[in-house]
Each structure stands twice: as structure tokens, then as C-alpha cells.
Structure 1
């Protein structure tokens, strides 16, 4: 019998340690770096930059030469070639447009990097919250199961009513249902974070318990609020989204300059046979000018480029307004949750701990009724759960604030 107990104990130890070995515990910094390496969004941005760089290398692109066969004397056909070359400012403007396109693609990569970081931070936070909520509800479930057993004994002894027993059972079942839902939420949070890391089926776990992150989070939030500039425009100066919109305006203005440069005459060079048989100079050079006589076409192109530039400027203004509104909301949320976190750290949590311990002690001593016990426990657990929600919302506001500042 003793040998059987030892074998079962060893088997349980191996199973538990095997499950722990399969679980991947990951820190936030490591998750960010892994997501940046594996993100398809960033691979797309890298290819877009390569595309624009290739277009920049081809910015000096004269028209294809015309190969001609003519019969200048009416006796035989002679080959020739004609090349049209735009005014030099056209190629200069094309190079500027291409360079602006490369810069726009690079700004797009910065936006993608900031977006990936924000998504990973929020997904990591969601997993932290689900883990902390699971621990909290496991504790509540354990307490209510013990209370349910005690209630059943008291009911069997005739010391409490059937209503009190049913109420305790209802509370216990409700907590158990919340615990099961928290388990499902944790699996979903693991899935979301795993998709960003390129490991959708990994059993991920965070390296920090969210319930113990309150003091450090309060210090981080206080330092962030002190370092913020008074003007929101200064705070958004490093926003990658705003920089992308500004570069889009630069690109559209370069397009206007290119259209205007193309209205200049182009130079035509040719080398053709224009002589009789036996002439000492049969092949002769030919020079000409390509005159932009189709004025309406250039006028339409200029109108389109101007409208595109105005649309880009309007988009920039819209982006500034949206980012300013998002920044003000994130700033207000950060300040609001900072005050709320301070309350729970200094007052709420100590009171919740005291309520749980004292209500159980008084109930066992017969100095508190069953109704007071249940009300006290619900009040204390509500405080603890709200504390977790406050930490989550506070950190989420800080993540959004950092994202808007390009951090």
C-alpha cells in the first residue's frame, strides 16, 4: 500500500512538472520583440519600401526610342532612330516624387511598428487580466465551497433556514459559473496573444501577476503624467500616424511640381538617312522640339494633382483632430484611473481584506448573521474585482497614451 502511494505521488509530480514544462512563460519585452520579428504587417511594410526604392531607381526614365524605316529618295528603305528627352526638370521632379514615396513607405513602417507594439501590449494585458481574474475567482470559489459545506451542516442541524441554504448554494454556483467563464476568457486571451507572436496554439502565461502590479504601475503613471507637455500638439509631435499624414501631403505637393514640369517642351533627337545613293553624308542628325499643345490635358492633370494635395491636407487636419481627441481621452483616463488606483491601494484593498477576515470570524463566533456574512463577502469581493479592473484600465490608458506619442 505504501509503495502504491509513492508511485501515485511520483506520477502526479511528473504530470504536473510536464504541464509546467509545456507552458511558455513570457515577459512583455520578449513578446514585443517576437511579434516585431514575425509580424506579417511589418513584412508588408518592408516590401512596400522596397517597391518605392525600386521606383526611385527608375525615376530617370526617358521615353522609348522610335525605330523608323523611311525612303527619303523614294528608291529604297533606310532605317533610323528618334529619341525624345524631357526637359531636365521633369526627371528632377520625378526623383523628388520617388524620394517622397520612399519616405511615405518608411513612415508607414513606423505606423505598423507602433500598431504591433500596441496590439501586443493590449493582448498581453488581456492575458494578465484573465489570469488574475482566474486566481481571484478561484479563491472566491474555494471560500464559497467551504461556506456551502458549513451551511449544509448547519441546515442539517436545524440552525439555519432552507432559504439561507439555497441562497448560499446560489452564490456558490454563481461564482463557479464566473470561474468557468474566466477559464474560457484566459484561453481566448492566450489565442489572441499567440496569433500576434506566431504561436497560435502555445500555452502562454505572463511573467507578472497583475494583482501585484499596482504599486509599480502607479509610479510609472505618475512619471508619465509629469513628463507630458502642456500642449497636446507638442505631445503628438512624434506620433507616427501624424508623421505619415504629413508625408502624404509632401508627396502630393511633389506631384503638383511634376505635372507643372511636364508642361515644358521636350527635345527630340534623330539619326536618319536623308540623302541620295552615293552622297558622302547619307546619315544625318535631326533635332526638334516636342511642343505641349494639348493644353486641356495638362490643365486636367494639374487640377487632379491640386485636388489630391488638398485632400491630403484635409486628411492631415482630420488626423490631427482625431489624434487630439484620442490623446485628451487617454490623458483623462490615465488621470482618472490613477486616482482610482490610489484609493484602492490605500483604502479599498485593506478594507476588503479586513471585511473578509472579520466577517468570517464573527459568523463562526455567532456574532454576525448569515445575511451579514454574505453581504460582507460580496462587498469585499466586489472591491477586489474592481481593483483588478482598475489596474487593467489604467494600464490600457497608459498603452494608448504611449502609442499616440510614438512610444
Structure 2
């Protein structure tokens, strides 16, 4: 009888483990790199960032913004051939260095937009990588629950058989049924968690495609860089703050151009309308041709109150961006040190479960099944052993996930280059 029960239980386990339930109807298997490339190409924030760069490049053409050219036509019947009777073109210019300063500012703003896009890309890589490994973690939990489902199904099968043969009480069969049903609920909840993570991944990738990781098991990541080699100034966020500081300095240079003079030029030519002479005044064009003239001038700022205030405000902005840069770099160093500590903790935990915990969980399940079938332990001890083994396997998967997430954060702070 016991031999038949054991063989039937093994068959149940084999069916559940070898043929796990399908997690979704339509899957697209992708590697992490494929997910990253798809997200970089399709993510809406990335698309917006690329448009912002092109917009900043377009605005560089506004650096040489020259005032509108003035055209005037005058005809005074009382002025004879004076310049008042003329066509004139006039144009004003800023001091030449003002145009160079504005162009430098606009170029710096374009560079800032590129830095913003790189920061967005770095954050996107972090999010996609984190979610991808959370998918693997959730799928590993599903596998653990499926194996546990097989074990509890075996326990319930044995309890039913013993109850029918009078070898055990109804209480044991009820507990076996309770454990089986509770694990079913946990398995369903874990699958729902997997689907929720899928939705988050789809949002970041801007797709309706249901992505299935190409890896068959939850793997352990390795740092992309030497973990002790960290320079926040060379990261995307560090470059962003450096560019913000450069923009404040360029803006100060533009503001200072307000102290410099401007220039204006005008060309004039005599203009007489013969038919327009309401007072019958003798007006004749000069026989050698039209009178030509020009005018050149300079506009000098004499009142500097507003300009001094603008300059002081621009200097304050330079000081503010410098302080913000220093604060951000300090925060990044502290964050990196924090995640280094988390990395050390996660590594120690992972090493324990890799070397000891996982093997112990397998031994506990194997020995408990044999002992319970032989009647060497009662169902209470058997249940406790099964729960212990499941908890070990879940803790092992959690240790891998914690370790991977600290690696992802360290790579993110390094810049994911």
C-alpha cells in the first residue's frame, strides 16, 4: 500500500514540476538587453528628451538676434530738398561680444539637455534591469510554490489514504487539506504579483507586449565596475550638475553684456514726389542726382541700477548652482557607501543560503517524506518540516533578489556606462 502511495505521489510531483502552469497566454521571450534597447527606443520620456535636444539646437539660431530693420519714407512740402524728404533704412546692433555670449549660453543649454537625456537613460536602465530581475524573482517564487503544491498534494493524498484505511484521524486529513488550499492561494497571489510586475515593465517599455525573461532560473548578477571605484563627477548626474553650473556662468556673462554700448546705422536718400505739393512751393530735384546721407550712432547706458541688480542676481545663481552641485555630489557619495554596506550584507546572506541553506531545505523535504511514510514522525512534525523547507527556499530566492538589487543600484550610481 505504501509503495503504491509513494509512486503515485512521485507521479504527481513530476507532473507539477516538469509541466508548470502557463503564466500567460501570449508571451514574448526577451533578454535583458533586448528589453533595455526596446525601452530606450520607445520610452516616452526618452522620446521627449530627444525632442528637447533638437529644440535646444534649433534655439542656437537665435543667438544672433538682430533688431528689426527700420524703413521710413518722409515727404515734407516745406522742407525743400532737406533730408526730411527721404527714404531711410536704419539698423541697431548690440556690442559684438553679446552675440558670442548668447551663443555660448545656448550651446550650454543644448549640452544640458543631452545630460538630462543621459540621466533619463541611466534611470531607465536601472528601472528596466530592476523590474526584469524582479520578474525572475517572482517566477522563482512561483516555481517554489508549485513544488510545494506537489508536496502538499502528496501529503493530502497520503492523509486521505490513511484516513480510509483507518491509520489516521480526520484531523490529520483536515490539516493536510488546509495546507494544500493555503498554498494554492499563495501560488495564485504570487502569479498575480508576477503579472503586476509585467504591467510595470510594459509601462516603462511603452508596449503592450507581455515579456517573458529568457533565463530559465533566477541568476546572480555581478557588478559591472570595481565597486570601490566611484567618482560622482563622472556620472550622468554629476555631469548634469556640472552643466547646470556652466549655464549659470554663461548666463552671468550674457547679463554683463548689458554694461556695453550698442550701435546704430542709417542710410538716407532724397525722395521727392512731384505730384505732392499742396502749397505750390518750388521744389526741384538736384540736377546732379539725389542727395545721399548716412547716420551712425552709439547708445551708451548711463543708468546702471537695473543692470547692477540683474548682475548681482546672476552671480547669486552661480553660487547657488555651485552649492547644489556640492550637495548632490556629497549625497551620491553617501548613497554609494550605503549601498556598498547593503551589498556586503546581501553577499553574506547569499553565501550562507548558497552553501548551506538550499541543501538543507532539500534534505529536510526528502528525509521528512520518507520518515512520514514510514510512520517515524507524526503529521505535526511533518508539516513543520515542510514549512521550514519552503521558508528556506523562499529566503534563498529573496537573498538572490536582494543581492541583485544592490548590484543594480551600484551600477546605477556608477552610471551604467
TM-score (norm. length: structure 1): 0.86
In structure 2, what is the Cα distance between the partners aligned to 1:19 and 1:105? 41
2:264 is the counterpart of 1:256? no
Greater Cα shift, 148-157 or 32-41: 148-157
Partner of 2:377: 368
Larger RCO, structure (CA 8 Å, separation 6 or more): 2
Partner Cα distance (1:19, 1:256) in 2: 59
Q: Deviations over 1:150-178 (max 9, x none)?
A: 12332344433444333332222221111
CA 1:71/1:310 → structure 2, altered by over 3 Å: closer, same or farther?
farther
Asked if 1:114 corresponds to 2:122, the answer is yes
What's the CA shift for 1:273?
A: 4.7
Higher share in helix:
1
Q: Find the partner of 2:107 among 94, 99, 112.
A: 99
Residue 295 (str. 1) matches residue 304 (str. 2): yes
Tell me what 2:347 maps to: 338
Query: TM-score by structure 2 length?
Result: 0.84
Counterpart-to-counterpart distance in 1, 2:128 and 2:79: 77
User: What's the CA shift string for 1:55-105, capped at 9, x where partnerless?
Assistant: 112211111122234457645753312211111110111111011111111
Correspondences of 1:5-404 after superposition (within 5 Å): 22-70=26-74, 74=79, 77-200=85-208, 202-211=209-218, 213-214=219-220, 217=221, 220-221=222-223, 224=225, 227-229=226-228, 232=230, 234=231, 236-273=232-269, 278=285, 282-404=291-413
Q: Which residues of structure 1 form unaligned runs of 5+?
A: 1-15
Structure 1: how far apart are the matches of 2:284 and 2:169? 127
Indicate the larger mover: 363-372 or 298-307: 298-307
Shift of 1:281: 6.0
CA contact (8 A) 1:249 1:313 kept: yes
Task: Determine if contact 2:358/2:392 at 8 Å carries over to the other structure.
Answer: yes
Q: Is the radius of gyration larger for structure 1 or structure 2?
A: 2
**Relative to structure 2, which stretch is displaced further, 316-325 or 30-39?**
316-325
Distance 2:259 2:73 in 1: 30
Greater Cα shift, 71-80 or 134-143: 71-80
Separation in structure 2 between the aligned mates of residue 358 and residue 260 of structure 1, nearest angstrom: 83
Tell me the distance in 1 between the aligned counterparts of 2:70 and 2:310.
Answer: 26
Query: 2:87–2:270: 8 Å Cα contact kept in structure 1?
Result: no
What is the distance in 2 between the residues matched to 1:374 and 1:21? 35
How far the C-alpha of 1:23 sits from its partner, in A, is 2.3
Cα RMSD for the two superposed structures: 2.5
Alignment-derived partner of residue 11 in structure 1: none
Distance 1:304 1:403 in 2: 35
